[in-house]
Amino acid sequence: MEFNDLKVETPVFLAPMAGVSDYPYRQLIREMGVELLYTEMVSAKGYEYGNRRTSELITFSEKPQAKIAVQIFGEDPKFMAQAAAGIVEEYGADLIDINMGCPARKIVKNGAGSALMKNLNLAAEVIEAVVDSAKVPVTVKMRSGWDQKNINAVELAKVAAEAGAAAVAVHGRTRNQFYKGEADWEIIKAVVAAVEIPVIGNGDIFSAAAAKAIFEQTKCQGIMIGRAAQGYPWIFKEVIQYLKTGKIIDSPAAYQKIEMAIRHLKLAVNYYGERHGVPIMRKHISWYLKGLANASEMKNKVNQLTKADELIELLQKYQKNLRN
What pLDDT score was predicted for residue 66? 82
Quick one: pLDDT band at residue 58, thresholds 50, 70, 90? confident
Is the pLDDT assigned to residue 284 strictly greater than 60? yes
Query: What span, in angstroms and rounded, lies between the C-alpha atoms of 38 and 137?
Result: 13
What pLDDT score was predicted for residue 62? 55
Query: What span, in angstroms and rounded, lies between the C-alpha atoms of 183 and 177?
Result: 9
Is the pLDDT assigned to residue 83 strictly greater than 70? yes
Is the pLDDT assigned to residue 57 strictly greater than 90? no
Same-domain check for residues 240 and 277: no
Please give the positions annotated as active site.
102
Tell me the mean pLDDT in the region 277-306. Answer: 97
Tell me which residue range forms the domain holding 39: 2-245
Is the pLDDT assigned to residue 63 strictly greater than 60? no
Residues 6+ apart with CB under 8 A from 283: 19
Query: What span, in angstroms and rounded, lies between the C-alpha atoms of 25 and 177?
Result: 27
Residue ending a domain, choose from 187, 214, 245: 245
Same-domain check for residues 19 and 45: yes
Same-domain check for residues 164 and 270: no
Same-domain check for residues 238 and 260: no
Q: Which residues participate in the annotated binding site?
A: 16-18, 71, 141, 171, 226-227
For position 143, which CATH number holds? 3.20.20.70
Q: Which residues participate in the annotated binding site for FMN?
A: 16-18, 71, 141, 171, 226-227
Span 235-248, pLDDT tens digits: 999 999 999 999 99
Same-domain check for residues 231 and 302: no
Is the pLDDT assigned to residue 228 strictly greater than 60? yes
Is the pLDDT assigned to residue 256 strictly greater than 80? yes
What pLDDT score was predicted for residue 274? 97
Same-domain check for residues 170 and 28: yes
Quick one: pLDDT band at residue 61, thresholds 50, 70, 90? low
Q: Do 234 and 259 touch, CB atoms closer than 8 A?
A: no
For position 305, which CATH number holds? 1.10.1200.80
Number of folded domains in the chain?
A: 2
Span 150-177, pLDDT tens digits: 999 999 999 999 999 999 999 999 999 9
What pLDDT score was predicted for residue 306? 96
Same-domain check for residues 290 and 170: no
